[in-house]
A and B are shown apart, each in its own frame.
Chain A
Amino acid sequence: MSKFSHIYIEDEALGYPISTRILERFPNAKRVWIGDYKEVFGRLNQHFQIQKRSVKLILAVKKGGYLYRGSDFSQGFGYKNFYYNTLMLNCVYNCDYCYLQGMYPSANMVLFVNLEDFFEATRKAVAERKYKSEPLYLSVSYNTDLLAFESVVPYTAYWIEFADACDDLLIEVRTKSANYKAIKHLKATPRVILAWTLSPRKVAEVYEKGAPSLDRRLEAIREAMEDGWQVRLCFDPVLRIRNWNYVYTDFMEEVFRYLPVEKVYDVSLGVFRMNADYLRRIRKLRQDSDILFYPFEVRGDTVSYPLLHRKEMISSLLEKLTQYIPEERIAVWE
């Protein structure tokens, strides 16, 4: 699990119990006092992949921006009051295709310690949401993997408990972590969707560095399903690797052989896409990953596979998925 050689601490962050807990958890980490996290996180010319060799933790107090309105209606699930928050910036894993490499100036992890302010803002947003007939849908693991960090700070558990006690709130915890045991003690609640991203075994091994294997993720999912959790399966991003069709259809067969299909809450399917500027930045920093150098097509400010390829991939995999899951429970990004 994570080990930090250095922890940077905003003076203001020190008074929070979460900071105390983390400093006790990493007694040997060198401590560096800072005024504002952006002094460290926002420096010019940082090298994302070199920093990934030795990630530092930054403890900060977030001032405003406790939740943001999502722009894409939660990738097709149709939630009208869609929001996300950023409790942390960056992730313990290092997937080759991760857009965070192009979005953030640094690979260091920022953890916001003023959780109460996030809760307060969320309560207010729930009360003031526009579409009152629907819950407020909040993605809490947005530019990070919250569950993967659970052994350092139990934010997933805190948010599950918070959601369970908050009417009209539905949270999504998206993850690649296999650390289900960290939240197993909690009772399953209909106000939470645990969303696991899955990739074929080889893809996970080669392109999802640091993330648990497919088998470990599947075990965690099955256990969560048995305990009554609503589990979303995210086949996203699908990569156009050699023999992608066989690789992905075999993989889906395997997934649904292992998991009880009737217990799947819903499924999302999407092919790789990324903001064009992020990809440009990433390509400048690393030329070691073939999937980032695919001859993509640019559409607006997004790059993805050429239209024909996208259509081919989606139709083939959708056909496969609908053998197991009714189409209305599958959200597609093509």
Chain B
Amino acid sequence: MRKIIITALHAEAKPFIEFFNLKKSNLFAKIPFYSGEPVSLCVSGIGKMRSAIATASLLAQEKEPHNVVVFNIGICGSTTKEVNLGELFFVNKVIDHGSGRSYYPDIVIEHNLPESQLMTFDKPVTQLDFPQEYKGLVDMEASGFFEAALTFLSPHQVVCLKIVSDFLEGEVINKAKVSGLVERNMEAINGIISSYDALCSFLATDVLDANEHSLLEQLSMHFRLTFSQYHQLIEWARSYKIHKKGSLEILRQYLQYSVSDKRERNNYLEKLRSLLLDE
């Protein structure tokens, strides 16, 4: 399972780069990207638009999107002092202040972190700016991250972790402090990231492996199957493997026969069907 962290600031990324020993890569000209194991990381820049662009750019080129989890991790403000500075939250609902739209991750792992909702604003806010009735965390990226990530992934593959850095009282937070907040929560964050490994086995994986797909493709070319016949053959092969628990090698012998017209092709196709499906 591939894991990708997206932070807004370099100061948020730095502790991860050091902790996971990530290497700078030139994947994108304008979006700093760091690769490594078990995570890669990308610094999107500030604001929901930048977060969305970085997230979408990364996910658009994923070859196995079902095998990825993305994490938006960073600092945030809090409208309430009922939480502690430096406290790490698992975000369970993101509200975009501009559109009023809500986003919900599927939290399918067990964890011990406190959870909270979070509202994403277009510009920095202070206590005076946000709706009176709203109580929770505040940031400038998460809704863009969710909008982009959910275009490519399922909601259980999208995670948002935020650390409270201020109470929206206009204080300036320097880079060292930002990095310090992330560092102090590194163990907990790493724990969350690791717990996503367990999901791997539950993801839909094709029962047909590359060799079997290649055999089916050869048969398809050999008998000049139409597109829909080819896909039918794949379905039958899956059914054979799962239902009858047999090996597809029994099909290989058919590569020695050749067909000259449509009728012959259909006859062979019927033979394959019968071999794979009949009781």
A interface residues with partner B (beta carbon < 8 Å): 5-6, 8, 30, 32-35, 39-40, 43-47, 49-51, 53-54, 283-295, 309
The reply on B236 being an interface residue by CB < 8 A is yes
Which of A33, A49, A292 is the one whose CB lies under 8 Å from B202?
A49
Q: Are B243 and A5 within 8 A (Cβ)?
A: no
Give the docked Cα–Cα distance between A39 and B238 (Å).
35
Which of A43, A51, A295 is the one whose CB lies under 8 Å from B104?
A43
The majority secondary structure among interface residues of chain A is mixed
Q: Are A45 and B107 within 8 A (Cβ)?
A: no
- Specify which chain B residues have a CB less than 8 angstroms from the CB of A43 in the assembled complex: 104, 150, 155
Q: Which of B31-39, B172-180, B204-212, B220-228 lines the interface with chain A?
A: B204-212
Q: Are B238 and A45 within 8 A (Cβ)?
A: no
Q: Are A287 and B154 within 8 A (Cβ)?
A: no
- Specify which chain A residues have a CB less than 8 angstroms from the CB of B155 in the assembled complex: 43, 45-46
- Specify which chain B residues have a CB less than 8 angstroms from the CB of A53 in the assembled complex: 108, 202
Which of A33, A35, A54, A285 is the one whose CB lies under 8 Å from B107?
A54
- Specify which chain A residues have a CB less than 8 angstroms from the CB of B30 in the assembled complex: none
Q: Are A50 and B245 within 8 A (Cβ)?
A: no
Give the docked Cα–Cα distance between A201 and B245 (Å).
22
> 20 additional contacts, CB 8 Å, given A34-B104, A290-B243?
A5-B107, A6-B92, A32-B92, A32-B93, A35-B102, A39-B102, A39-B104, A49-B202, A50-B199, A50-B202, A51-B106, A51-B108, A51-B156, A54-B110, A287-B207, A287-B242, A292-B242, A293-B242, A294-B243, A295-B277
- Specify which chain A residues have a CB less than 8 angstroms from the CB of B203 in the assembled complex: 47, 50
- Specify which chain B residues have a CB less than 8 angstroms from the CB of A285 in the assembled complex: 204
A154 to chain B, nearest CB (A): 29
Q: Which residue of the partner chain A has the closest CB to B273?
A: A295
22 A-B contact pairs sorted by A residue (CB < 8 Å): A8-B104, A32-B92, A33-B93, A39-B102, A43-B155, A45-B150, A45-B153, A46-B156, A47-B154, A47-B156, A47-B204, A49-B202, A50-B108, A285-B204, A286-B204, A287-B206, A287-B238, A287-B242, A293-B242, A294-B239, A295-B276, A295-B278
- Specify which chain B residues have a CB less than 8 angstroms from the CB of A288 in the assembled complex: 242
Q: Are B104 and A32 within 8 A (Cβ)?
A: yes
- Specify which chain A residues have a CB less than 8 angstroms from the CB of B279 in the assembled complex: 309
Give the docked Cα–Cα distance between A49 and B242 (Å).
18
A102 to chain B, nearest CB (A): 14
Known interface pairs A5-B107, A51-B106, A53-B202; A30-B115 also in contact (CB < 8 Å): yes
The reply on B117 being an interface residue by CB < 8 A is yes
A84 to chain B, nearest CB (A): 29
Give the docked Cα–Cα distance between A53 and B117 (Å).
23
Q: Which residue of the partner chain A has the closest CB to B242?
A: A293
Which of A5, A40, A291, A293 is the one whose CB lies under 8 Å from B238?
A293
A13 to chain B, nearest CB (A): 16
Q: Which residue of the partner chain A has the closest CB to B207?
A: A287
B113 to chain A, nearest CB (A): 10
Give 4 closest A-B pairs by Cβ, nearest first.
A295-B277, A293-B242, A293-B239, A45-B154
Give the docked Cα–Cα distance between A51 and B156 (Å).
8
- Specify which chain B residues have a CB less than 8 angstroms from the CB of A289 in the assembled complex: 242
Known interface pairs A32-B117, A294-B243; A6-B154 also in contact (CB < 8 Å): no
